[in-house]
Structure formats: structure tokens, C-alpha cells
Amino acid sequence: DAKTTQPTSMDCAEGRAANLPCNHSTISGNEYVYWYRQIHSQGPQYIIHGLKNNETNEMASLIITEDRKSSTLILPHATLRDTAVYYCIVDGLSGNTPLVFGKGTRLSVIA
């Protein structure tokens, strides 16, 4: 599986957009990018995933670079409830094991 690199922590002002970067320079052509988040002590929660194109849902937007070596998760209007650890994961069609979680980015939304 391709590995990902994320900053350890980030801060964001409440109401502003939170942009969380992820590097996945060894990603292969059939691998998806997934984002999950884990609010304190709870089980991880799926946010969004993408292959090549940018994606948007009710929670967030995912911007994937043209070379697919990096991506950015965007929370358009961060609230205090978005304070969590955000995990960027790469997994592919040839995989037959569950997702592998790294340490993620701890996002703190500040009032």
C-alpha cells in the first residue's frame, strides 16, 4: 500500500476554511484516497474519498492534484465540532486488507 504523510497538527479559526494536506507520492493508478476523522475517543468516521477527480459532499471537499501525488481535504466553514484527528489513507482495487491508518493530523478549531 502507498504511504501518506500528514502534518502532525494544525489550527484553524472557527468559521474559516480548514485545509488539511496529505502527500502520497507513491500512489499507484488504481488506488483511492480516503479521508476519515476521529473525534475524541469515538470510532473513526468516514468523510470522503476520490480517485482522480475532485469530490464534494455535505461534509467536505477533496482536491486531488493532477499527478495524484498529493491531496487536500477542505472543511469549508470549520466549527468547534470539527476538532478531531483527520486521517488520509490510500487503498486500491488490488487490496484485500482493511484500511491502514497512520497517525493523522490533529485539527484544533479555535473560537
Give the amino acid at 74. I
Contacts of 96-101 with CB under 8 Å at 24 or more apart are 97/1, 99/34, 99/36, 100/1, 101/36, 101/44
CB of 97 to other proteins, least distance (A): 6
Find the binding residues for other proteins in span 72-111 (CB under 8 A). Answer: 87, 91-104
Q: Does 39 bind other proteins (CB under 8 A)?
A: no
Sign of the dihedral through C-alpha 11, 13, 14, 16: negative
Q: Does 46 bind other proteins (CB under 8 A)?
A: yes
Stretch that binds other proteins, among 16-24, 31-39, 60-68, 70-78 (CB under 8 A): 31-39
Residues 44, 87 contacting (CB under 8 angstroms): yes
* Alpha carbons 22 and 61: distance in angstroms, whole number: 14
Q: What is the size of the binding site for other proteins (CB under 8 A)? A: 28
CB of 78 or CB of 87, closer to other proteins? 87
CB of 41 or CB of 53, closer to other proteins? 41
What are the residues binding other proteins (CB under 8 A)?
30-32, 34, 36, 41-46, 49, 51, 87, 91-104
